[in-house]
């Protein structure tokens, strides 16, 4: 059993809000609470969803009770459709009824839906209280629990109400992945592969050597992905420039995900997005062919292990979605693209964002259709 400690520093915070991400099998049953600044925490309020409450609620309650503090569990029905302001309101009113105060600590136990919603409630409840993240999906463990983005969806878009609110710590128990449906694994796997492409060639090679992709994903890959995400967000907390490299594969990916009306999962959409965007890099002369092919081979191998439908790849529709996603900024699409495996392209002014024409964008969708039509 290994405990990995990552210190995340945020320049924008006057107080030192650096925190640790601890990763260890079984950490949920044996919480190293002494590693966190909990001296002032009078009570714990575990926020979770109905599925995770059933699987891990009692276990976590028992582990937290060791601290001799009061522990309450507040759960809401599982599902992305419940990541909304009404649920945040409902949860906050329950906290209030149960007597949560400014010295209470929220504990977010669950996937990205729970983490985002619990983080959001923590950031506004009595003008902001402390919280811990205990992510239980691969996506939440390697991506959404790190970096302090919180939020809920609204009728006019995803995460349209939200805040930046850093947790006091993140505790990751890879054992919880054993109960996670296989279809959820690809969501985290896509982000792990993305991290390797943007920052770590050797990690990419290790992923390439895996012959199957399931919940038995090696813990070191979770650790490495966390390190990369933590390093990027601690250098650029509110996404002025560098943090944008984490969007690799997401410009095209989000367009595909939206065009499918969220029937195609985030992971599958982002994998398709990475294939398209690296092809764009090749066309622009930014990415070498050998690196492009290596990347494309791995991504296609993953796609073949999970069934993917091609129905949502209409280039004109996707172009409309990309433009809508840019939130008003007119003219060209901008993307972050790899310059080789393990490094992102940066121009002479230090910007990671590269303009991409409508023609190249649409041609990349043609490329994607060809890839999917000819399984190798």
* Residues found near ligand ADP in the complex (CB under 6 A): 49, 51-52, 55, 78, 80, 110-114, 136-137, 139-140, 144, 176, 179-180, 184, 187
Smallest distance, Å, CB 264 to ligand ADP? 14
Question: CB of 346: closest distance to ligand ADP in angstroms?
Answer: 30
Q: How far is the CB of 96 from ligand ADP (least distance, A)?
A: 24
Could you give the 3-state DSSP secondary structure of residue 143?
Answer: helix
Q: Are strands 131-135 and 104-110 parallel, antiparallel or unpaired?
A: parallel
Distances (CA, A) of 44 to 61, 64, 170: 9, 8, 15
- Smallest gap from Cβ 352 to ligand ADP, in A, equals 26
46-77 burial by CB neighbour count: b if 16+ within 10 A, else e? bbbbebbbeebbeebbebbeebeeebbbbbbe
| Sign of the CA dihedral running 208, 362, 324, 233 | positive
In the block, residue with structure tokens 């669950």: 110
DSSP-derived secondary structure letter, 8: B
Q: Please, which residue, 266 or 367, has the CB nearer to ligand ADP?
A: 266
Nearer to ligand ADP by C-beta: 274 or 282?
274
Q: Rounded to the nearest whole angstrom, what is the least distance from the CB of residue 262 to ligand ADP in the complex?
A: 11
Helices (H), the chain: 50-52, 58-65, 85-97, 112-124, 138-139, 182-199, 201-208, 219-235, 250-259, 266-283, 289-305, 315-325, 358-373
Question: Is 335:286 a contact under the CB 8 Å cutoff?
Answer: no
Compare residues 102 and 182 and give the one whose CB is closer to ligand ADP. Answer: 182
- To ligand ADP, the closest distance from the beta carbon of 145 in angstroms equals 9
In the complex, least distance from residue 130 CB atom to ligand ADP, rounded to whole angstroms: 21
Residue sitting closest to ligand ADP (CB): 111
Nearer to ligand ADP, 25 or 205 (CB): 25
What pairs with residue 74 in β-bridges?
A: 47
**Residue whose CB is less far from ligand ADP, 110 or 148:** 110
Nearer to ligand ADP, 140 or 318 (CB): 140
Taking the C-alpha atoms of residue 233 and residue 246, their distance in angstroms, rounded to an integer, is 9
User: Among residues 135 and 281, whose Cβ is nearest to ligand ADP?
Assistant: 135
């Amino acid at each position: 059993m290994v405990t990995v400690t990552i210190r995340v520093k945020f320049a924008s915070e006057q107080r030192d809000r650096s925190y640790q991400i601890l990763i260890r099998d079984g950490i949920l049953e044996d919480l190293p609470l002494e590693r966190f600044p909990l001296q002032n925490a009078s009570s714990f309020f575990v926020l979770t969803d109905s599925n995770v409450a059933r699987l891990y609620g009692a276990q976590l309650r028992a582990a937290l009770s060791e601290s001799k503090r009061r522990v309450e569990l507040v759960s809401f029905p599982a599902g992305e459709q419940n990541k909304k302001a009404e649920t945040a309101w409902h949860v906050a009113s329950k906290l209030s009824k149960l007597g949560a105060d400014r010295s209470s600590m929220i504990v977010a136990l669950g996937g990205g839906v729970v983490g985002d919603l619990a983080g959001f409630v923590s950031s506004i409840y009595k003008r902001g209280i402390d919280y811990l993240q205990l992510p239980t999906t691969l996506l939440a463990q390697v991506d959404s629990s790190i970096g302090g983005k919180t939020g809920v969806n609204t009728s006019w878009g995803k995460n349209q109400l939200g805040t930046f609110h850093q947790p006091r710590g993140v505790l990751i128990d890879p054992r919880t992945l054993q109960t996670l449906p296989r279809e959820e694994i690809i969501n985290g796997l896509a982000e792990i592969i993305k991290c390797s492409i943007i920052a770590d060639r050797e990690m990419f090679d290790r992923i390439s050597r895996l012959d199957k992709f399931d919940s038995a994903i090696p813990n070191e890959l979770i650790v490495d992905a966390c390190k990369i995400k933590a390093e990027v967000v601690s250098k650029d907390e509110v996404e002025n420039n560098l943090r944008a490299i984490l969007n690799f594969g997401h410009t095209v990916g989000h367009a595909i995900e939206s065009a499918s009306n969220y029937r195609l999962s985030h992971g599958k959409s982002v994998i398709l997005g990475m294939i398209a965007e690296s092809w764009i890099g090749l066309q622009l002369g930014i990415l070498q062919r050998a690196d492009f092919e290596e990347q494309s081979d791995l991504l296609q191998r993953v796609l073949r292990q999970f069934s993917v439908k091609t129905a949502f790849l209409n280039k004109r529709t996707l172009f409309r979605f990309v433009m809508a996603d840019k939130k008003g900024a007119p003219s060209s699409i901008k993307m972050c693209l790899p310059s080789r495996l393990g490094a992102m392209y940066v121009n002479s002014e230090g910007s990671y964002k590269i303009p991409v024409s409508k023609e190249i964008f649409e041609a990349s969708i043609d490329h994607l259709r060809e890839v999917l039509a000819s399984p190798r």
